[in-house]
Amino acid sequence: MDESNLKLVRAAELKHCRVAMLATVGWLWTATGTHFEGMLSTSSGVSFADVAAAGPLLGAAKVPAAGIWQMIAAIGALEVYWENKYPAAECGGDFGVPRVTQDPAKFKEARRC
């Protein structure tokens, strides 16, 4: 595997981990019954309380199709923006965050698994 493929795989792994963590937080948020106030969809008559009362899986099925498409469009727009700003084949998860150490030997030791 060459360096660009390794960076692409590393970026994909990091993204999938972050999505999984966000999904876990969302699941726990819904499972505890915590929800936003108001209506999720005024045209369909679905409130956030209705979705939270149904539980995480059945609640997701109550979201109207237009809401699902809005989420897909928003996520897609963010993906396009982020990929243009930090190409996965070049950056591979390095988003310019300062490292703990600047000493190459200590950094190499910290990266060991």
pLDDT for res 22: 92
Q: Helix H segments across 1-113?
A: 3-31, 48-54, 56-61, 65-85, 88-91, 104-111
Burial-class residue 11 by CB neighbours within 10 Å (0-12, 13-18, 19+): buried
Length of the chain: 113
> What is the average pLDDT score of the chain?
84
Could you report the per-residue pLDDT of 20-75, keeping only the tens digit for each? 999 999 888 888 888 889 999 999 899 999 988 888 888 889 999 999 999 999 99
Q: Where are the domains of the chain?
A: 3-111
35, 52 Cβ separation under 8 angstroms: yes
Q: Is the full-model pTM beyond 0.85?
A: no
Query: How much is the pLDDT for 31?
Result: 83
pLDDT for 1 beyond 80? no
